[in-house]
A = this chain, B = another copy of it.
Amino acid sequence: MMYDAAIIGAGPAGLSAAINLKLHNKSVIWFGSKAMSDKVEKSESIANYPGMGIISGSELNEKFLKHAKSLDLEVEDKMVTDISVTGKGFMILAENSVYEAEKLLLATGYVAAKGFENEDRLLGRGVSYCATCDGFFYKGKTIAVFCGAERYEHEVKYLSEIAEKIYLFTPYKGESELDSIENIERLKSPIKTIEGENKADAVILVDGTKVDIDGIFVLRTAVAPATVLKGLEMDGPHIKVDRETLATNIKGCYAAGDCTGRPYQIAVAVGEGNLAAHSMLED
């Protein structure tokens, strides 16, 4: 089926857009985490979302989830790995499924513009965003895994059952079940560069160490938008938008929330999600 709109990202901006499109009877496919926004969830206290008083991030996130459910909006908990522009709209590859939508909203939050050095260039050639899709090809091999959030740890576990050896990198702190798995070695220094001529064959860490690998899995809450959607114009680390409509340089594609720039604020994100939805309705 052809959806009226696809939304990438289940934070405040994505939610606000999803609500407005749904209320206008549009069919929406919405990608993100079933747990909504990690960033909101982890905020200890939020005092400047008007009407909520002083509220914990997890309480607010719970209210966001409840609001979505009350409108029968459900998040497709799949990582979007590629988006292409077709004559009629957009074709979206999420793990192993393909979706089509007329309009597209990027509400991916703030992510580094291009991920790791060379990540973009080597994507599909030793760099993968999807354990379920590509894990199989690394049977008996040595791989690096960047696990961007705790909720992806089950994918790391899955990869540990296939690969011979895993070098694990996490941006968050704390031990986990993964540390008791024999073929997983956690490295402290973060990844700086992915190396390889035609195929990823090593990672260089910030401390200068070179680690030889057969491939790397990058499991992020959000993939850098310019990496999955070729030709998307950026402004430094942010998606370039027309501020009046939140349109990007690609026809039919809009962006809202932290991915469009500062200030990184929940209130601003819901405002932009609402504005983008209205632009999409008028487009």
Contacts and interface: CB of A to CB of B under 8 A. Distances in A.
A63 interface: yes
Nearest to A67: B53
Contact of A67 (B51, B71, B265, B271): B51
Interface of A: 12, 15-16, 19-20, 23, 47-54, 60, 63-64, 66-67, 70-71, 243-244, 262-263, 265, 267-275, 278
Contacts of A49: 51, 270
Given A51-B63, A267-B274, A270-B271, 20 more contacts: A12-B50, A15-B50, A16-B50, A16-B267, A19-B47, A23-B47, A47-B71, A49-B270, A51-B60, A51-B64, A53-B63, A53-B66, A262-B278, A263-B274, A263-B275, A265-B278, A268-B271, A268-B275, A271-B274, A271-B275
Nearest to A59: B51
A74 to B, nearest CB: 16
A48 B267 contact: no
Contacts of A278: 262-263, 265
